[in-house]
Amino acid sequence: MPELPEVEAARRAIEEHCTGKKIAACSVADDLKVIEGVSRSDLEAALFGKTILATLRKGKNLWLRLDSPPFPTFQFGMAGAVYIKGVAVTKYKRSAVSDTDEWPSKHSKLDDGLEFSFTDKRHFARVRLLEDPESVPPISELGPDALLELMPVGDFVESLSKKKTAIKALLLDQSYISGIGNWIADEVLYQAKIHPLQIASSLSKECCESLHRCIREVIEYAVEVDADSNRFPKEWLFHFRWGKRPGKVNGMKIEFITAAGRTSAYVPELQNLTGNQSEKVSRKKSTNVTSKKNVDAEESPSEKEETYETSKKNETAEDNKGREKKTSETENDRISSKVMAKKHVAVAKRSLRKRSKSSQADL
């Protein structure tokens, strides 16, 4: 599933190659599952003749700021990807497709002949046409962006101390921090030496600080290399976690469990349950995933109850959010496109400075 680095790579590619250009032609696939809330013809008509002013992102959602609304938004789902003809956007491990297989699934042609396409071979992505993307779901419901808005370490430590849910489930909760998906969660927990099922509030201050640092470093590095997994450090868990195959990372055994409903890779030698949860270690080992056959039978009854309770709480919270949005304007609660664009620029400048220093060092 494309996560923050992959979506950011797509945003940067569109920003670099398409900003300021007019959409001279637009073709939308006849896919009612992916194209949500708007007809194919209306989407084509809304984009035709518009000029792309900016490309914005929050979490794993991307949208184009045109010279007038409405604006197209893209939720990448399991295998959504942006392709720009003749431009290498990203080499995301799990969504690599052949241009001949999908081009042009959904594409726009710009006034200088450049073409770009948003494709999804698994049909879990969503394309919407919205007047103000940041003011309505799903973007309005997202928590702080993990790259642009990661909370200060002190606030992060305090926040985790109040969370009674498993740490991986919390990291995957897009209303808490947006942009972290399965592989990033596994990676940062491995690097911080934290078990995926450890209750967040039970983590020590040192563990919380380590996790905060790992989130920042992993995401910034992945973004810096445009989500090209071939350039990720060789010691990262990322390279060994796919397919639930037995293996080792840095000489240590990798095992698989289900956490937050997702297959999760972890290293028992480094990532141990602590405190009251340490008594459950032997039971957790008996539920390790060794084949696809038992991947859905790994959670203990107590974990299923915790997942159910967490789900109900989240539903209640979302219902309350909905009622609040209907009764009052929440203009101060959302980040304006101008502010988000400035944050993207700031990150790009930091990246440019890093590359400049690296080039000087090489000389």
Beta-ladder partners of 264: 257
With b for 16 or more beta-carbon neighbours within 10 A and e for fewer, the 14-43 pattern comes to bbebbeebebeebebbeeeebbeebeeeeb
Over the range 325-362, which residues count as b (16 or more CB within 10 Å of their CB) and which as e?
beeeeeeeebbebeebbebbeebeeeeeeeeeeeeeee
Of residues 3, 15, 255, 298, which has the active-site annotation? 3
Per DSSP bridges, beta strands 107-110 and 61-66 are unpaired
Picking from 60, 291, 305, the residue whose alpha carbon sits closest to that of residue 166 is 305
In contact, 166 and 201? CB cutoff 8 Å: no
Let me know: does 228 contact 90? Beta carbons within 8 Å. yes
Output the CA torsion sign for 248, 4, 259, 293: negative
- Number of continuous H segments (helices) and E segments (strands) in the chain: 10, 11
Rounded CA separation 359/363 (Å): 6
Q: Answer yes or no: 309 catalytic.
A: no
H-helix or E-strand spanning residue 34: none
Instruction: Report residue 305: phi and psi, to 5°.
Output: -65, -40
CA distance 185 to 215: 8
Catalytic-role residue among 2, 5, 133, 196 = 2
Q: Identify whether 2 is a catalytic site residue.
A: yes
Q: Which of 5, 6, 50, 60 is catalytic?
A: 60
Annotated active-site residue 36? The verdict is no
| Residues in a beta bridge with 73 | 63, 128
Catalytic residues, by residue number, are 2-3, 60
